Structures are given as structure tokens and as C-alpha cells.
Copies of this chain bind each other. A is one copy, B any other.
Amino acid sequence: MKAAAPLKVGIAGLGTVGGGVLRLLETQAELLEARCGRRIIVTAVSARDRTKDRGTDLSAVRWYDDASVMATDPDLDVVVELVGGSDGIAKRTVEAAFAHGRHVVTANKALLAHHGAALALAAEEKGLTLAYEAAVAGGIPAIKGLREGLAGNNIREVHGILNGTCNYILTEMRTTGREFAEVLADAQKLGYAEADPSFDIDGIDAAHKLAVLTGVAFGVTVDFAAVHVEGIRHISSLDIEYAQELGYRIRLLGIARRTDQGIEQRVHPCMVPIGSPIGATDGVFNAVVADGDFVDKVVLVGRGAGAGPTASAVVADLLDIARGRSTPTFGVPAGRLASLVASPIDRRKGRYYVRLMVVDRPGVIADIAASLRDQNVSMEAFLQRGRAPGEAVPVVLTTHDTEEAAMQRALALIGGLDAVLEPPRMIRIEDF
């Protein structure tokens, strides 16, 4: 068999992930060639610092200061975009790559969440690939699993732990009993959380990934604006203790669910059964669960970040391109993607956990129960540990299935009671 031409790759961004990709392509060169029938070589790079030691010889590689200029290099087959950010240089680089006939591999969830539909069309018009396995759930082959492995199914729901930083913080809070702020500060010192952690802890990163997963799972145009997003800043160690007592773990989940009203997309803290796959996934790990009409539930768990796992996902995309394996960006041709009809969070149906700080005096519980009853919310369990007449005590309750709008009205009533001292804390329960 005659040797096929090598696949020529330009890498934009040589940070942690870019360095991992360089290392993987170098150390596994022989294996990769066996798998795809040709060599994969890096011929161009773009990075801020040319002098930094990246553990690999880049002297023969063409350097560019501007990644979007690199994308126009005539001697490239694929541009790997690892710059990040929903707009600016990352977007310009990807657009330039398509305009010049190069495939794109990216780890950029923000870009896809905001411009996924338009970029998929741009790729398709030129017969090019836009691949992004690394953008969702790091090393877990979630996009391939969903888009190809489960392609015979109508997906009913996809949900998962999509942000390792939040899962690490929540796990640490549980195992050490410490509060959020303290654990976050430690995570920052250890490099598990960014100096500005808001993208992670406010749920935005998970929402970017969920929006992309939703597009793939349901064959709809990515619609980040339709994602309801809450983060984990308000979770207290008290909630984590109560969760344990009730048989649950608290996770920040992304959930996309097909309902009669449309597609729900939401990112928020959830209580999930301790023994469920999601409940059992501690620490920095990610998990993705897809529920298909023929296959039922499939669970994928692995590392959601880090140089090695992310490089593994980037290189899987490169191997697909090198072998000529192509799949429409979001599973079906961009022109056939349906518009996403969003079902708002108000229509969410399910159970709720509520924690209140109340004055311990007769009649308080009756008032709370009446507020729930008035909104047709049915209480399932109620828990007050200890007594402290006249003083503030925490009280916890869970509900049977109810609609979010009714729950919110009940919470407004409860929050307005004299004896309720702080805004009620609510966490949705998901019994996967």
C-alpha cells in the first residue's frame, strides 16, 4: 500500500492543552499512524511566547503571532483551536480556517455555545469538519458516543456533571465539612479553580457544554440563551449534611430533557440519589448520561479536564479527520437542525428540597404547610432536628412532584412569613 500523505496540523494556543496535544502527537506517533494510515504532523503553531520550553522540538515549525493568520497558511489540513473565548481571535481563527478550506478541531465550548449553528453551516458549505470532542466532558468520548454510538436513538434526556471544579468543591465540602468560600480558596491554591472562578462556580461553563450537548442530542440549533443557569455559591455545608441524611448527594448538573412543551435546558445544583452513577461520581470527574428510546440509559464517566484527557479528545478528532471519517457537526446536516423550542424552568416538574431558618415557636410549621397547600404543593417529608424555643432553628422539607412555578409561588409566601428569618434555600431533587 502506498503511504498516504501526512495530515498537516496547525495548533492555535500552546497552553496546558496545546502542550498536551504536542506531547501526545510526538510520543504516540507510530500508534497514530497505525490507526489512521498516515502520519499526523504539526507544521504550524501560534502562541504568545516562542521561548517557553514545551518539552518538544518546535524549531522546524512555522510560528505565527496571530492564530487567524496561521489559519490561512496554505500548507495546512487542520487548524486546532485551543485559544478559547466565544468571540475575538478564536472565532476569527475558526472562520479563517473554513474560508481557506481547513478542517477545525476545537476545545472551545463558549464558541460553540454562542456560534455553533453558524459555524456548523460554514463548515458544511465547504465540506469541512468542525470537531469538538474536547469541548464537552474532556477525555470522555461523549460527543462521539452520543452522535455516532447512540445515533439510532431518539434521545429523551441527557444530563451530567459537566464541570469538574464544581464537583471537586462540592465533594470537598462534604468530605471535610467546610464551607464553600474556604474550599474554593483552597481549590484556587491547588490550581483546581481559576483566579476568577465565576465561569465555573456560577455554572456558565457547564451551561456552554450543556447547550452543545443539547444540540447533538436532539438535533436542534444550539441555543445558549435558553439555558437556565444557577451556580453553587449558595450551597452550604448544612445542605450537604441534610442531603446525606436524606440519601442524596448535591451535584451541579446540566440537564436537557425533551418534554411536551419543548426542550428543558438547565444548569443548577441538584440532589441525586447517593447510589446513582451521578451520585457516585466524586471529585474532579465528569459524567454524562444519555437516555435513548432503544438503548435506555448509557453512562459515561471520566476526567473532564487536564492536559492528558483533553489532548486524548483532540487527537481522537484528528484521527477521524485523518481517516476521512465524517459526521455532521450536530449529528444531522446543519440545514436540517430544528429550532429549539425552549420549555422554561417554570415548567420543570419534579421534587424539591427546601431549607428554612425559622423561629422555633408554635404555629410556624402550620403556616409553612399552609403556604405549600395554597399552591397545591404536596409535602413529602419534614425535618427539624432539636428544639430551641424562641430561637432560630433550621428546618428542612421535601416535596412530592410539583411544577416549578407553583414551588416558586409557595417559596415567596414562605419567605414572607414573619417567623422565617432568611430567604428560603431551594434545591431541586432529580431521582435518576
Interface check A236, CB cutoff 8 A: no
Chain B residues, Cβ within 8 Å of A316: 148-152
Q: In the complex the two chains form, is A24's CB within 8 Å of B139's CB? A: no
Interface check A136, CB cutoff 8 A: no
Q: In the complex the two chains form, is B323's CB within 8 Å of A326's CB? A: yes
Report the minimal beta-carbon distance from A335 to chain B, rounded to whole angstroms: 9
5 more contacts with CB within 8 A, not counting A35-B331, A144-B148, A280-B280, are: A141-B148, A145-B145, A149-B313, A294-B308, A294-B315
Interface check A319, CB cutoff 8 A: yes
Q: In the complex the two chains form, is B149's CB within 8 Å of A144's CB? A: yes
| A 87-108 binary contact with B (CB < 8 Å = 1; else 0) | 0000000000000000000000
- Interfacial residues, chain A to chain B (CB-CB below 8 A): 20, 24, 28, 31-32, 34-37, 133, 139-141, 144-145, 148-154, 219, 275, 277, 280, 292-303, 308-309, 311-313, 315-316, 319-320, 323-328, 331-333, 336
Chain B residues, Cβ within 8 Å of A292: 312
Contact pick for A301, options B299, B326, B328, B332, CB 8 Å: B299
Across the interface, name the chain B residue whose C-beta is closest to A337: B34
By CB atoms of chain B within 10 A, which of A32, A154, A299 has the most? Answer: A299
Report the minimal beta-carbon distance from A334 to chain B, rounded to whole angstroms: 11
Q: In the complex the two chains form, is B296's CB within 8 Å of A299's CB? A: no
Chain B residues, Cβ within 8 Å of A150: 141, 312, 316
Contact pick for A294, options B24, B275, B300, CB 8 Å: B24
Given known A-B contacts A299-B300, A300-B298, A323-B326, A333 and B148 have beta carbons under 8 A apart: no
Contact pick for A153, options B219, B298, B312, B323, CB 8 Å: B312
By CB atoms of chain B within 10 A, which of A149, A280, A312, A325 has the most? Answer: A149
By CB atoms of chain B within 10 A, which of A148, A293, A323, A326 has the most? Answer: A148
User: A153 to B35, alpha carbons, bound, how many Å?
Assistant: 11
Across the interface, name the chain B residue whose C-beta is closest to A149: B141
By CB atoms of chain B within 10 A, which of A31, A153, A303, A309 has the most? Answer: A153
Chain B residues, Cβ within 8 Å of A28: 152-154, 294
Across the interface, name the chain B residue whose C-beta is closest to A299: B301
User: A183 to B197, alpha carbons, bound, how many Å?
Assistant: 52
User: A275 to B325, alpha carbons, bound, how many Å?
Assistant: 38
Q: In the complex the two chains form, is B308's CB within 8 Å of A296's CB? A: yes
Q: In the complex the two chains form, is A299's CB within 8 Å of B298's CB? A: no
Chain B residues, Cβ within 8 Å of A32: 151-152
Q: In the complex the two chains form, is A31's CB within 8 Å of B312's CB? A: no
User: A292 to B313, alpha carbons, bound, how many Å?
Assistant: 12
By CB atoms of chain B within 10 A, which of A312, A324, A326 has the most? Answer: A312
Chain B residues, Cβ within 8 Å of A141: 141, 144-145, 148-150, 298
CB-defined A-B contacts under 8 Å, sample of 7: A35-B328, A148-B316, A148-B325, A294-B315, A297-B302, A298-B301, A325-B326
Chain B residues, Cβ within 8 Å of A301: 277, 298-301
User: A306 to B258, alpha carbons, bound, how many Å?
Assistant: 24
Chain B residues, Cβ within 8 Å of A294: 20, 24, 28, 139, 308-309, 311-312, 315
Chain B residues, Cβ within 8 Å of A295: 139, 302-303, 308-309, 312-313
User: A10 to B340, alpha carbons, bound, how many Å?
Assistant: 37
User: A323 to B331, alpha carbons, bound, how many Å?
Assistant: 12
User: A374 to B161, alpha carbons, bound, how many Å?
Assistant: 50
Chain B residues, Cβ within 8 Å of A152: 24, 28, 31-32, 311-312, 315-316, 319
Report the minimal beta-carbon distance from A226 to chain B, rounded to whole angstroms: 22
Chain B residues, Cβ within 8 Å of A293: 308
Chain B residues, Cβ within 8 Å of A311: 152, 294
Contact pick for A219, options B34, B140, B309, CB 8 Å: B34
Report the minimal beta-carbon distance from A326 to chain B, rounded to whole angstroms: 7
Report the minimal beta-carbon distance from A192 to chain B, rounded to whole angstroms: 16
Chain B residues, Cβ within 8 Å of A153: 28, 312
Q: In the complex the two chains form, is A139's CB within 8 Å of B319's CB? A: no
Report the minimal beta-carbon distance from A241 to chain B, rounded to whole angstroms: 19
